[in-house]
Amino acid sequence: MNAIQVTEFGDSDALEVIDAETPEPDAGQVRIDVEAAGINFADIMQRRGHYKGGPTPPFVPGMEAAGTVDAVGEGADAAEGDRVVAMTGVGGYAEYALADADSLFEVPESMEFEAAAGFPVQFLTAHAVLHEWGGLEAGENVLVHAAAGGVGTAAVQLAAAADATVFGTASTGEKLELAEGLGCDHPINYETTDLREVVAEETDGAGVDLVLDGVGGDAFSRSVDALAHFGRIVTYGAASGVPGQVDTTDLLFENKSVRGFHLGNALERTPERVLQSVPELQKLLAAGDLEVVVGDSFDLTDAAAAHEAIESRETVGKVVLTP
């Protein structure tokens, strides 16, 4: 089977198309005939060698894969032919991928596999950082960084559905239009505008109650400034390549707080806290009240080009690979 392997830490040319053996499921596992594999920025961080606790080369990246179950290991609660999407950890960038049966989500006939591949990481992360970790309440102001990205498009929709006032940052007019169409009340072009000025103007100087930051760097620092008294930031990534830095005196005198969220770690330690959102999310998706925004679809063998497009900020929504 075709698969993509990270041969060594580095740039996108470290992604190599290989002919790998088709894997066999162990007890409790299933094998998925992959129709679409989701790309997450964490895959890029793993490829660069900047992902804490990540795999070491050689490895096949890919945290989520959607397709049809075609082999079932002993004791696995699944059946051949099931339409599923799974969080695979690694191994999703391949024609066939293994997954634990308890990590499967059903994909309804009405949902395309490309959209399904954008569901688990995006929406579980967005819901958790907004609600379970962020404690969002109706009527609050929330700032979503990278509002046109994978997690960002999910978070904007969920925040709007929770009756929050949504601020969102992006780098182009096209991306801001997308975010606005999903429910962003105050789109901010961070290339030309200081988000702190927009927040101050639109909140009469009060600031935002909650910030979702997967960017780090300057975005994080400006977000601390833009927080209201008793406001909080949930940091879930550092796509800029620079971790957020904070002077604790900037927190204590205004009772601000910073919390961290990592989906994989949270699922390992408190799965019930993360997965409690699944029934609600599936209901909203089935009803058409939420949308998995799929931006670009690349052939599996073009994984390097897909990574390059994401890194150059050319993409919106979820980017997927199709074998």
- DSSP code string of 230-268: EEEEEE---TTSS-----THHHHTTT-EEEE--HHHHHH
Which CATH number characterizes residue 207's domain? Answer: 3.40.50.720
User: 173 and 133 share a domain?
Assistant: yes
Instruction: State the total domains in the chain.
Output: 2
Secondary structure letter of residue 21 according to DSSP:
P
One domain for residues 20 and 139: no
Q: Is 271 contained in some domain?
A: no
Domain end: 247, 265, 283, which one?
265
Q: Both 138 and 208 in a single domain?
A: yes
Same domain, 230 and 312: no
Residue at 251 is within a domain: yes
Q: Which pLDDT value is given to residue 286?
A: 85
* 284 is a domain residue: no
Q: Are residues 163 and 147 in the same domain?
A: yes
Spatial CB neighbours of 207, under 8 Å, sequence gap ≥ 6: 141, 199, 200, 226, 227, 228, 229, 231
Q: Are 141 and 10 contained in the same domain?
A: no
Name the pTM for this structure.
0.95
Residue 76: give its domain's CATH number.
3.90.180.10
Here the tokens at position 32 are 């998925």
Q: Give me the pLDDT at residue 240, please.
A: 87
Q: Are residues 174 and 245 in the same domain?
A: yes
Residues 89 and 10 in one domain: yes
State which of 246, 265, 284 marks the end of a domain.
265
Contacts of 75 (CB under 8 A, 6+ apart): 27, 28
What pLDDT score was predicted for residue 241? Answer: 84
Which domain, by its residues, includes 36?
2-119+292-322
Question: Would residue 174 count as lying in a domain?
Answer: yes
Same domain for 163 and 259, yes or no, is yes
**Shared-domain flag, residues 140 and 110:** no
59 and 90 housed in the same domain? yes
Report pLDDT for 184: 98
Mean pLDDT by 10 residues, the chain (323 residues): 97 97 98 98 95 95 98 97 96 98 93 96 97 98 97 98 98 96 98 96 98 95 97 94 89 96 95 94 90 96 97 94 97
